Amino acid sequence: MLIRKPDWVVHQTDKASKRSCIYSIHVHPDGSRIATGGLDTRVRIWNVEPILDPSRAEDDNCHKLLCTMSIHNGAVLCVRWSGDETGRFHGWQAMDSFSRRVYRNAQASAAFGTTDVNHEVWRGVKYLRGHDSDVQDLAWSSDDSMLASCGVDGHIVVWDGKSFERLKKITGHDGFVKGITWDPVGKYLATQSDDQSLKIWRTSDWNLEASVEEPFTLAPATTLFRRLSWSPDGARIVAANAVKSEATIAAIVDRDEWKTDVSLVGHDMPIECTAFNPQLFYFLRKDNDQTPIASDAEHGELGLLVALGSQDRSISIWNNQFARPLCVATDLFDNNIYDISWGPDGRWLVACSQDGTIAFLQFEDEIKEPAGREELEKSLSKYGIQRKGAVLVENVEQLAMEEKARTSSGNRVAQLMGETKPAASANGVNHKAINGSNISTSMDVDSDSVSAPPINSIPNGQTKEAAAPTKERQTVTITKDGKKRVTPLFVRSLSGAPAPPPPTNVTHQTPSNQSNASLGTNVRSTIEEYDDAVTKLPASGIPTKAAGNKRKESDTNEELRLERHRNKVYDDALTGPKWIRSMVIPPIIEKSQIRLGVPKIKASLSRHNPNSPQFYSHARLTHMSADEATKLKCFRGGQEIWTNYLQYAVIFISISLNFIAVSCEDGSLHIYTPHGRRILPPIALEAPASYIVSSDRHLLVITMVGLVYTWDVTLEEAVVHGVSLAPVLQLATYSEEVGRTSSIVDAVLTPEGSPVILTEHGDSFLYHAKMKTWTKICDPWHITSEFYSLHTIRQADKETTLSSVMRRSQSAVSAFAGSSFRGSTASKFLHQDKQMVAFLTLDHIEAQLATARILNSAEDYLRWSKSYAQRLADSSDETKAEEFCAFLLGPVFRSTTGWSPWVVNGLHKHAVLEQILPLLSKNRNLQHLVSEYFACLKQLQGTT
C-alpha cells in the first residue's frame, strides 16, 4: 500500500491563516478530480493527476487547484458528485446549497474573496430549501434520478434528480440524522441517526421497511457524522458508530432479514465514516488464516472491500468474508477522519480529516484486477424490482421466435451504434422550390437603382455546419439624381430550410388603441413581420386572438365608435411610410371570431430556391401616376426570365416545383408557372392570407379570419375548403372577451394535401379529410412518455411526415417549456404517481399508431407497431396483445366482408403481425397467445 499526503490540498483563506477543517471529500466518477468541502465555507475541486504522479505537481502546466467556489455563509459538510461518467451535477450541503457544473472556461480567473485562480468555472444553479437546520449528509441514487439529504432537524428530504423539485419529506427519526445511503437496486433508502437506530425506507411508498437498533443502543453521540454505505451488490449495509460488548465496531446489516450478525472489530474509538469499494475483487484463503490474500478469478472467490474511518485517526480495509482486515493505516492524521471516497477502479481511495489534510491510499499488492461488470450485475439481478418467476418454454416455435427477436435486436443495436446517414428532407413536409428560381417583392422609386444579389440559405436535410449562410449586408446604390439608397435587409419567408436559432420578435408601432404582441416562431425556419393583435380592429399576428362562443349584443354607440376607429386605421395604413406600413384591414375582420396576423407591407420580400442559389427573382412597388403597382420579376443567374405587374402590394410568396403562388394585400391569390404563365385567374379570398405554403402540387392558405384552404393546383381541385381553426385554438375554453390564444408556429402539408398545424405549446393538429375534423397528432401531455423523444431524435434514412412533425413539436415544447401547461402538469403528476409513465407511454404509442394510419405512412406504422408490441410484452398485457394480433390477422374465412388486408398502402397486416410476434414472444407468459397466432398466420400464408 502506497500512502501520500499532498500538502497543497488545503482549505484556508490565505497562506498566513491556519488550515481549516475538511469535512467531506468525494472522487469524480471518471477519477480525474476530487471535491472537498470545509469549515472555510468553500468548495474546492482538485486535480488527481499530480496526486497519482507527484512529479507532475512541479509542472506549471499541470494545475493542482482547478476551482474554488465561495457562495456559502456556513461550513460545507458534504460534497457529492452525481454518478454518471460526466459528473455534470455536483452537490454540496451548507445551508441546503447544491451546484451544477455548467461550463468550463479555458481562461483562468480569480475566485471571489480569495487569491485562488479558477482554471475551471462552475456555477450554482439551484438552492434546495427543505430542511429547518444544518444538513449533514447527501446521496445520489444509483441512476441519478433522485437526490436525498438528511440533517440535524431529524428529517430526510428526497429531491428529483433532474428538476430538483422536492418529492418527499420523511419524518421518522427522533434525533439528528447524520448519514444516508441508497440501495443500488433502487428499492430502499437507509438512514442512520443519533436516536440510536438505522432505518430502511421503501422507495415505492416512502414508508418504513425496518428499523435496526441492537448494535447502536450503546453508541456514543460524540461523532459528527454517521456515514453509512450500501454494498455495490446490494446485499448488505455497513453502518458507522456501533458498539458491541463495549467495543466500537462497524455493523454489517444483511439485506435478507435486516440482521446484524457480522461486525468489523478493531478500532479503538468510534467510527465516523464507511465506504464500500465500487468494485468486486477475488481473494484466496490459506488454511485457517483469517487474512484475505489477493487472487484471480481462477483460484479465488469474489469478495467486497469496505473502508472504515475512525476517531482513532486510522483507516482499515476489510473483506466481508474474513475476520481480519486486509490492511490498516494508522496515525494518518492528527484528528478525526470525517469522510472516505474510493476511486472508480477501486484501487485507490482518499480520506479527509478534522486537521485540514487529506490522505491518498493506493493499493498495489493487496488487491488485483477487479472482477467484470457482469459479476456485479449478476449479484444485483436477484434483488431486481418486481422480478417475475421463471417461465419454461413449452414449444419449439417459442424458442425459434426468441432467437429471431435476439437477432433482430442485435442488428438494431448495431445500426444505432454505427454511422447514421443525414436525415433526408421531410416526406410530405413540403418546403420545395422551383428549379433555380426565387421570387421577391419590394417598393422603390427608381428601377435602375435596384441591386438584388441572391440570398444564401441552408438546403433541406443539411446541418448549419454543412451549409452556413453568409452574412447579409445592406446594399447602397446611387440613383440617377445622385441620391443614395439603402436596400433593407430581406426577412425570409416562413417556408424553407430547417429551423435556425429563434429569431428576435419584431413589433411595430400601431394606432394608439392597439396593443403589441410578439410572434412566437421559435421552431420555424424564417419569419415575417406581423401586425400586432388588437381587441376590436385586429391586425393580430400569428400569435392569435379569439373571442369565445358567446358574445354580447353591441349597442349603437359602440358601432359608431368602431366605425370611426376603422376609418382611422385605414387612413393611417394608406398614408404611412412607403417602405414599411401596416396593411389595410378589411371590415370582415371586425366580426370574425378568429383573428390572425398578416405580414407588414415591406420594402423587400425575397424568395429563392435553396437548391439553386443562382436562380432568384426580384419585385418592387413602383409609382404609376397617383397609384402604386408591384413589379414582379424572376431572374436566373442575373438574367431576367419574366416580369409582371400586380395592382396591390405582395405580402406572401411561395415557390414549389410546379408553380409560384403570390398573395396580395387585397386578399387575391395569383398562381403562375415557373416561367410566368398564369395557371388560374386570381383567386378571391374572404380576407388576406396570414400564411401560405406549397408542395409539389398542393397549396395551403391560412387567411386572416382563421380559415384554412388547400388545393391540388395540378388537378385544380379543393382538398380542404374553408375549414376553421377554432378547434385548433380551443375557443371553447375562452370567455366572451377577445384574448390571446396559442400562437401558430408552423403549417405543413402531407403528401395527400392535408394541412398540419403546429402551435407554440407543442400541439400538432392534422385535418382528417375523410372524417372532416381536426385530430391532434402530437400532444405535450405525452411528454412523460418513454417514447416521446426516442423516435423524433433518432435519424433515419428517410424522414417521414409524422417523425418530422413530432420533431418540430418537441422543439416547440422545449422552446416554450414555461407556457406548456399540459406538459408541466403531466410532469407534476409523474412525481405523485410513478405508474403514470407506463400508462401515458402506452397511450402515446396507440395515438401514434392511429396517426400513422391516417397519414398512410407504412414506415411509421411498422415502427410504432414494434414499439407497441415491445411495450405489451414488457407489461404482460395479454388482453391488448390479443386484440392487436386479431386486428392484424383478420378473419380466418375470407368470405367475411368489410375487412381489408392492407393497414396502409403498401403494408400488409400479416407482414406487421409477422414482425411483432417475435417481440411478444420475449415474454413467456404470452407464449400461448403467440403460438396460436403464429400457427394461424402460417396456415393463412400457406393458403394464399
Q: How many helices (H) and strands (E) does the chain have?
A: 14, 59
Instruction: Pick 529-547+579-754's CATH classification: 2.60.40.10, 3.90.1150.10, 2.40.128.630, 1.10.10.10.
Output: 2.40.128.630
Percentage of the chain exceeding pLDDT 90: 29
Number of other CB atoms surrounding residue 909 within 10 Å: 18
Q: Could you tell me the end-to-end alpha-carbon distance of the chain, in angstroms, rounded to an integer? A: 75
pLDDT tens digit sequence for 286-319: 766 667 788 887 778 888 999 999 999 999 999 8
Beta strands in 443-600 (DSSP E): 475-478, 484-487, 545-546, 580-581, 594-595
pLDDT of residue 399: 76
> Is residue 38 scored above 70 in pLDDT?
yes
Give the alpha-carbon dihedral of 641, 647, 653, 657, to 10 degrees: -40
> Is residue 781 scored above 60 in pLDDT?
yes
H or E element in which residue 50 lies: helix 49-52
Rounded Cα gap, residues 884 and 23, in angstroms = 59
User: Of 881, 882, 886, nearest to 870 (Cα)?
Assistant: 881
User: Among 39-43, 231-235, 741-745, where is mean pLDDT lowest?
Assistant: 741-745
User: Of 720, 719, 738, nearest to 729 (Cα)?
Assistant: 738
Q: Are 198 and 237 in contact (CB under 8 A)?
A: yes
Which amino acid does the sequence have at 58?
Answer: E
Rounded Cα gap, residues 172 and 88, in angstroms = 32
The whole model's pTM is what? Answer: 0.46
Beta bridge partners of 306: 276, 318
Rounded Cα gap, residues 654 and 853, in angstroms = 29
Radius of gyration of the chain (CA): 35
pLDDT of residue 121: 80
Q: What are phi and psi of 924, to 5 degrees?
A: -70, -15
* Class of CATH domain 22-131: mainly beta
Lookup: cell for 666:
387585397
- For 719-732, the three-class secondary structure string (H helix, E strand, C coil) is EEEEEECHHHHCHH
699: Cβ contacts below 8 Å, ≥ 6 apart: 654, 656, 659, 661, 671, 692, 693, 710, 711, 713
Q: Which residue in this structure is represented by grid cell 490522505?
A: 359
Give the alpha-carbon dihedral of 375, 376, 377, 378, to 10 degrees: 50
> Is residue 235 scored above 80 in pLDDT?
yes
User: Of 128, 125, 210, nearest to 167 (Cα)?
Assistant: 128
Q: Are 804 and 431 in contact (CB under 8 A)?
A: no
Beta strands in 365-466 (DSSP E): 439-442
- 3-state DSSP assignment of residue 123: strand
Q: Are 63 and 47 in contact (CB under 8 A)?
A: yes
Number of other CB atoms surrounding residue 474 within 10 Å: 8
pLDDT tens digit sequence for 629-682: 788 877 776 677 888 888 888 888 888 888 889 888 888 999 998 888 999 999
Rounded Cα gap, residues 799 and 477, in angstroms = 44
Q: What is the mean pLDDT of residues 738-750?
A: 77
**Per-residue confidence band for 497, with pLDDT thresholds at 50, 70 and 90:** very low
pLDDT tens digit sequence for 338-382: 999 999 999 999 999 999 999 999 998 888 888 888 888 888 887
**Choice between 405 and 918, residue whose per-residue pLDDT is larger:** 918
User: Of 660, 637, 619, 614, nearest to 455 (Cα)?
Assistant: 614
Q: What is the mean pLDDT of residues 333-337?
A: 94
Number of other CB atoms surrounding residue 865 within 10 Å: 24
User: Among 106-110, 237-241, 611-615, where is mean pLDDT lowest?
Assistant: 106-110
Rounded Cα gap, residues 473 and 802, in angstroms = 38
**Choice between 897 and 849, residue whose per-residue pLDDT is larger:** 849
Burial state string for 499-521 with b = 16 or more CB within 10 A and e = fewer than 16: beeebebeebebeeebeebebbb
**Per-residue confidence band for 487, with pLDDT thresholds at 50, 70 and 90:** low
pLDDT of residue 731: 52
**Choice between 28 and 491, residue whose per-residue pLDDT is larger:** 28
- Highest average pLDDT, of 5-14, 170-179, 895-904, 920-929, comes from 170-179
> Is residue 483 scored above 60 in pLDDT?
yes
What is the DSSP annotation of 51-116? HHSGGGGG-TTS-SEEEEE---SS---EEEE-SSTT--EEEEESSSEEEE-----SS-EEPTTSS-
CA distance readout (Å), 890 to 858, 879, 894, 912, 937: 18, 17, 9, 12, 10
Rounded Cα gap, residues 840 and 825, in angstroms = 13
